[in-house]
Chains A and B, each alone.
Chain A
C-alpha cells in the first residue's frame, strides 16, 4: 500500500465549478499535512497547510480526518488558472523523519472555458 494515495484523475471541469480531491495516508503517525500544486514541468508550490480543525484560504478549503486518515481539498468557483496537478503531502512525526515530505501521486485538474 502506498504511503499517500490520491485519485489521479484527470478531473475536467468547467469554469465556476466546485471540485473536490481526496487523499488517504497509511501511517497514523503522520504529523503534518499539506496540499501543493505543480504546474506542468515546474516545481511544486505550497498551496496550503491542513489543520485538524479544517482551514480555508479564499476559494480553497482543506479538511483533515485523523481517525479515517483522510485529507480533502475543495476548490470553489474554479478558474482556468487552477489547472494543475494537486499533490497531497504528509510528514511523519519526529525521529529521522524530520522534514521529509511524502508525496501522493497527484491529481490532475483541467478547468475549461
Chain B
C-alpha cells in the first residue's frame, strides 16, 4: 500500500512564477490536509479538503494561494506570483475520515513534502 505521494520533491521558481504542488493521498483516503513549514519554524495548517470540497482554508494566505482536490486526480496546491517568503517545505497529509470529530482518532499520514525554493 503506497503511502502519501507528493511531487515534485524539490521545486525551484523565480519570483513572479507559479508553483504547483501535487499530493496523492493514500489509497482509500478521502481527506487531505496541507501544512507549511517555514525555515526554523513549526508546521502550520493551511487547508483541509475533501473530494471536490474545501472544508477549512483558515490557514491559507488570502492572496496568491489556492487549493483543490478534484474528483479524479491528486490534490493541487497552487501558488501564483511566488515571492521569496514562500520558500518552505509544504507537506500534505491524508486520513480516511476526519481526525477530530469521532470517538476514535484517525491518524494523518504525511507525505515526504515538497521543498520550494524561490530565487
Question: Which residues of A line the B interface, CB within 8 A?
Answer: 31-32, 41-46, 49, 87, 91-94, 96-106
Tell me which residues from 85 to 119 in chain B have a Cβ below 8 Å from any Cβ of chain A. Answer: 89, 91, 93, 95, 98-101, 105-108, 110-113, 115
Interface size class of B (residues with CB under 8 A): 20 to 34
Question: Which residues of B line the A interface, CB within 8 A?
Answer: 31, 33, 35, 41-45, 48, 55-56, 58-59, 89, 91, 93, 95, 98-101, 105-108, 110-113, 115
Do A96 and B105 have beta carbons less than 8 Å apart? no
Q: In whole angstroms, how far apart are the Cα atoms of A96 and B57 in the complex?
A: 10
Do B48 and A98 have beta carbons less than 8 Å apart? yes
22 contacts between A and B (CB under 8 A): A31-B100, A41-B89, A42-B112, A43-B110, A43-B111, A43-B113, A44-B43, A44-B110, A87-B42, A92-B100, A94-B100, A97-B56, A98-B48, A98-B55, A99-B31, A99-B48, A99-B108, A100-B33, A100-B56, A100-B59, A101-B33, A105-B41
Contacts of A94 in B (CB 8 A): 100-101
Q: In whole angstroms, how far apart are the Cα atoms of A44 and B107 in the complex?
A: 12
Q: In whole angstroms, how far apart are the Cα atoms of A97 and B93 in the complex?
A: 15
